[in-house]
């Protein structure tokens, strides 16, 4: 899912998702989302804590600024509908940090592709802005 920060913290929307294939999207109002998924707020708060953010920023600062960060086409395999792929673009180093298991990277010339299984990514932080 995406856009959870806007629902949990009444923040402006940060995520824009463009589907490359037909799909069904479920939109929840704030109250329904909080009632159903509210307990996840503690988990997400921990992930977005100052300490976690500092650690992620330290990793990113290790990159030499003269080196261009590798971009990648991110392909998310949708498990419920075999053969359906969602595509997004991001920076490979950021997305790999957020991937959990099963990530597979392949390169073809200058283009890098990262394949992830559905549900390995959480929220708008999954793709670089």
Residue 106 or 49, more confident: 49
Its pTM surpasses 0.75: no
Provide the pLDDT for residue 81. 59
- For residue 119 the two structure tokens come to 């549900």
DSSP 38-82: TTHHHHHHHHTSHHHHHHHHHHHHTS-TTSPPPEEEEEEE-TTST
Average pLDDT taken over every residue of the chain: 62
CB 10 within 8 A of CB 43: no
Output the CA angle 104-105-111, nearest 5 degrees.
Answer: 150
CB 114 within 8 A of CB 103: yes
Q: What is the pLDDT of residues 65-120, one digit of tens each?
A: 555 555 555 555 555 556 555 555 555 555 544 444 444 555 555 555 655 554 44
Provide the pLDDT for residue 14. 73
Provide the pLDDT for residue 30. 78
């Amino acid at each position: 899912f995406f856009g959870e920060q806007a629902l949990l913290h009444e923040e402006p929307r940060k995520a824009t998702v463009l589907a490359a294939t037909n799909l069904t999207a479920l939109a929840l109002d704030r109250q329904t989302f909080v009632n159903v998924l509210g307990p996840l707020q503690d988990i997400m708060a921990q992930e977005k804590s100052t300490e976690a953010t500092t650690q992620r920023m330290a990793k990113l600062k290790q990159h030499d600024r003269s080196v261009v960060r590798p971009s990648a086409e991110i392909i998310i395999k949708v498990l419920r509908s075999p053969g359906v792929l969602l595509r997004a673009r991001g920076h490979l180093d950021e997305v790999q940090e957020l991937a959990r298991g099963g990530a597979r990277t392949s390169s073809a010339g200058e283009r890098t592709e990262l394949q992830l299984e559905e549900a390995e990514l959480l929220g708008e932080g999954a793709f670089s802005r």
